[in-house]
Each structure stands twice: as C-alpha cells, then as structure tokens.
C-alpha cells in the first residue's frame, strides 16, 4: 500500500513539473512565408473584414466555391461574358476551373465578381497567402451579424452554431438562395425598416457545389458529394456526374499566379465595408512591378487573330501613307487616297527626240484601228457590273433585239412613193392655189 501511494505521488510531481515547463516555454513562432513571398504585406484583421464583408454571410457551399474562383479573375471575367450571352447552357463544357464553372451557375454572383475584378483579385491573393485568416474573418463577421440579431434561420437558410463555429446551410435540399444585404448595416445594427438580409429567387443545387468549408482546419475542401449535413439532404435530388465529382479534384489547387496581377486598391476603398476608418493604402507595395507582357486572356479573340503579332501596331497612331502601285493594278484617278505619284506612274513614257523632232511638240501616237487589243485593255474595256445585273433585273436585251429584227423582216414593206419631178411639182403648186381661191370665195 505504501509503495502504491509513493508511486502515485511521484507521477503527480512529474506531471506538475511538465506543466510548469510547458508554461515557461515560449509559444511557437508563426510559419514564415516562402522565400518568393517575403515582400508580401499581410492584410490586417480589419482589412480582411472589409474585404469579406459582402460575402461572409453566403451559404457555406457557395462561399467555398467563391473563394477558390477568386484566384482565377481572368476566367471569372470570361465566364461572366459567356453567361450574359448564352445563359447556363454549355457551362460544363467550358475550359475553366471547376470552381469558376460552379460560380457561373449563379449569374448574380459571377456578375458581381466580374464587375469588381480588383476586389476579386485582392480576395484571391488573400486566400493564397492568408487562407486561415480569411476563414477566421468570416467567422468573426458572422458572429457580429448574429449578435445584432440579423443572422437567423429563415425558410431560405439554416444557421447552425456548434462549438463556437457558425455554419450557414441551404434550408431547401433542392434550392440555394443568395443573400442580399448592406455590409455597413448588417454587422453593426438592426435596420430601421424591414429586414437586414433579403433573398432573391431560389437557384438549383447541382453537382457543381462539390466543395465546402472545413471550419475546424480553416480551409476549403472537396466533398465528392459524400457525408452528412446539407450534402446528405441534397444528394437524393442531385445528378452526380464526373464533370464535378472526380478523383482529380481531391487535392484542392488554387491559382497562385493571381499574386502577379496588379490591384487598384483605391477602388477597393470605395466599396461599402464594416470598418469605415480602415483603408488599403499600405498595400500599394504588394503590387508587383508592371509587366508589359501581361494582358487578360480572351479566348474568343485569341482563336481568331494573333493578338501578339507586332504588325498590328505597325501603323497605329500614323496617318495612312499612299502605297506604291503594283504591277497589274488598275489606276483609279477619282478614287480618294490615290496620290500624284500613282497618277504620274500611270502616264506613258515620252520617247526621246530624234533628228529634226528635237524642237517639235510631242504628239502621242494614234491608236491603230484594226489592231486587236491586249488582254489588259480588254479587261479594262469590259463594262462595270450593273446594280441589277447584266439582264437589268432579268430582262434579256440581246434576245429582245433579235426578236425585234425578225419581226420587222416578216412584215411587208410599204410601197415606195416616187419622188415628184419638176413638172409635177409645178402642177401641184397650181392646184394648191386654185384650192385657196375657192376657199376665199
């Protein structure tokens, strides 16, 4: 018995000494940024709140897709143009990232991201560098909205609080609703009239919602449409295809090249935010040196023309210069833009004076009457095409002329009247005089 008590007392002393040593040891240092990211200035918690305030109350599955798609701003811009032109038809066949395809199924979301590309780019850069801080900021904003009584369960969304984590799930297993709210109000007070959060029409839940938020690990993960929660309730109504449910999406990959894209932080300062006294001016040094070769990707243009051809800019900003006449070209004197050089080159060369013709005026040679014309002259002699065609609207002129000649040849000719002789002309004159006298009587 005494041995057991002594052993227990020794173990207690060891545990106490271990806890004291752990308390005395310093906290682990934060993970340093990679070498290529040493020049990055992290966003402060208040700046992240302003950056995420307009989307922090989105349902978890939509928020997860949006954070990943923000790292592809060029594809977001292209997807928004596509949706405006063709709607949701053919989205699954486009060569975009799977997260961009998912967001493109919700026109209001992809249009908002495309209209604010600077904000979208800054959000993508923040998720690349500070994914844990981004997820923490979302939870902080949701707690602020819930404390004001604005984030509650409704027929459109279900708000679940477990272990200090606030989840927002779709209430309807078939439809998801995009919330609409003012960030300057929803996080700080109750609205004077109406509700703080409103919703539009319900949008279909499809297999494209293949990512979700892992709040415990502060990351976005791929669900593969397996598990419980909102996924288990919606799975019976979703047609799962390999376009969005595929093993290649198991490891979530973000586009790290978004950090090379410049951002206009002045525009981001103008957006509504929860902290009005916080600006992004100190992040101007986050912008990399200007890249003269950078340009947004537009596949609609790239597949029709080589936009990198230097000849496209050869005459940009210069006035049109007359081009030298090429051999075989027809000279048009009345066409605008033809210079005197072309007109002079079209004139025939004067022959050198010979013998006594030195002081004689130059007379051009007369054309030969019966000489056949050259092929070039024959081409120039052809009449210009008529506006109605050669047949003048379908009228065969040549056939009509032949029919007229045949018709005149078939008619009997009228008898010719002999020319009056000198004597006959005198008799006719006297007859006419007698007729005049009779009328006067």
Report whether pLDDT(343) > 70: no
Query: Which residues lie across from 220 on neighbouring strands?
Result: 213
pLDDT digits (tens, 9 = 90+) for 207-265: 999 999 999 999 999 999 999 999 999 999 999 989 999 999 999 989 999 999 999 99
Report whether pLDDT(358) > 70: no
Query: What does the mean pLDDT of the chain come to?
Result: 75
Give the pLDDT score at 272.
72
Give the pLDDT score at 271.
84
Which phi and psi angles does 334 have, rounded to 5°? -90, 0
Where does the pLDDT of residue 371 fall: very low under 50, low under 70, confident under 90, or very high at 90 and above? low
Mean pLDDT of 16-29: 40
Give the pLDDT score at 387.
46
Alpha carbon 111 to chain centroid, angstroms: 12
Where does the pLDDT of residue 3 fall: very low under 50, low under 70, confident under 90, or very high at 90 and above? low
Mean pLDDT of 35-61: 87
pLDDT digits (tens, 9 = 90+) for 82-104: 999 999 999 999 999 999 999 99
Give the pLDDT score at 231.
96
Whole-model pTM over 0.85: no
Which phi and psi angles does 165 have, rounded to 5°? -110, 130
pLDDT digits (tens, 9 = 90+) for 267-303: 899 887 899 889 998 776 454 444 545 455 555 544 4
Mean pLDDT of 114-122: 96
pLDDT digits (tens, 9 = 90+) for 379-417: 555 555 544 444 444 556 667 677 777 766 666 655 555
Where does the pLDDT of residue 40 fall: very low under 50, low under 70, confident under 90, or very high at 90 and above? confident
Mean pLDDT of 317-335: 44
* Percentage with pLDDT > 70 across the chain: 56
Residue closest to 69 by CA, chosen among 29, 22, 127: 127
Pick from 119-133, 147-161, 320-334: least confident: 320-334
Give the pLDDT score at 22.
39
110 or 35: which leads in pLDDT: 110
Mean pLDDT of 121-137: 96
Report whether pLDDT(7) > 80: no
């Amino acid at each position: 018995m005494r041995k057991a008590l002594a052993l227990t007392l020794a173990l207690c002393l060891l545990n106490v000494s271990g806890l004291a040593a752990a308390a005395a040891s310093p906290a682990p240092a934060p993970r340093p940024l990679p070498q290529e990211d040493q020049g990055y200035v992290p966003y402060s918690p208040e700046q992240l709140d302003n950056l995420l305030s307009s989307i922090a109350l989105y349902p978890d599955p939509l928020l997860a897709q949006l954070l990943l798609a923000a790292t592809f701003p060029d594809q977001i811009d292209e997807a928004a143009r596509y949706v405006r032109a063709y709607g949701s038809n053919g989205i699954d066949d486009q060569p975009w990232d799977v997260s961009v395809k998912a967001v493109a199924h919700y026109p209001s979301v992809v249009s908002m991201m495309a209209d604010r590309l600077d904000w979208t780019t800054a959000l993508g850069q923040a998720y690349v560098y500070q994914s844990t801080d981004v997820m923490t900021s979302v939870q902080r904003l949701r707690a602020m909205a819930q404390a004001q009584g604005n984030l509650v369960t409704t027929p459109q969304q279900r708000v679940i609080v477990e272990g200090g984590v606030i989840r927002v799930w779709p209430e309807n297993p078939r439809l998801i609703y995009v919330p609409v709210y003012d960030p300057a109000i929803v996080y700080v007070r109750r609205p004077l009239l109406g509700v703080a959060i409103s919703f539009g029409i319900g949008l279909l839940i499809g297999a494209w919602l293949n990512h979700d938020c892992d709040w415990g690990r502060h990351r976005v993960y791929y669900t593969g449409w397996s598990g419980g929660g909102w996924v288990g309730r919606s799975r019976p109504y979703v047609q799962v295809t390999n376009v969005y449910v595929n093993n290649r999406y198991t490891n979530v990959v973000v586009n790290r090249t978004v950090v090379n894209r410049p951002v206009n932080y002045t525009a981001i300062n103008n957006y509504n935010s929860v902290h009005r006294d916080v600006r992004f001016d100190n992040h101007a040094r986050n912008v990399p040196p200007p890249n003269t070769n950078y340009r947004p990707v537009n596949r609609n243009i790239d597949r029709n023309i080589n936009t990198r051809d230097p000849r496209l800019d050869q005459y940009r900003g210069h006035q049109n210069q007359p081009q030298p006449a090429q051999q075989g070209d027809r000279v048009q004197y009345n066409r605008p833009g033809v210079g005197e050089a072309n007109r002079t080159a079209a004139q025939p060369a004067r022959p050198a004076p010979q013998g006594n013709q030195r002081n004689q005026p130059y007379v051009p040679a007369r054309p030969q009457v019966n000489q056949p014309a050259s092929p070039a002259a024959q081409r120039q002699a052809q009449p210009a095409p008529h506006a109605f065609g050669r047949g003048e609207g379908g009228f065969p002129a040549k056939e009509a002329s032949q029919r007229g000649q045949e018709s005149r040849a078939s008619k009997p000719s009228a008898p010719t009247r002999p020319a009056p002789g000198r004597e006959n002309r005198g008799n006719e004159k006297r007859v006419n005089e007698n007729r005049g006298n009779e009328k006067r009587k």
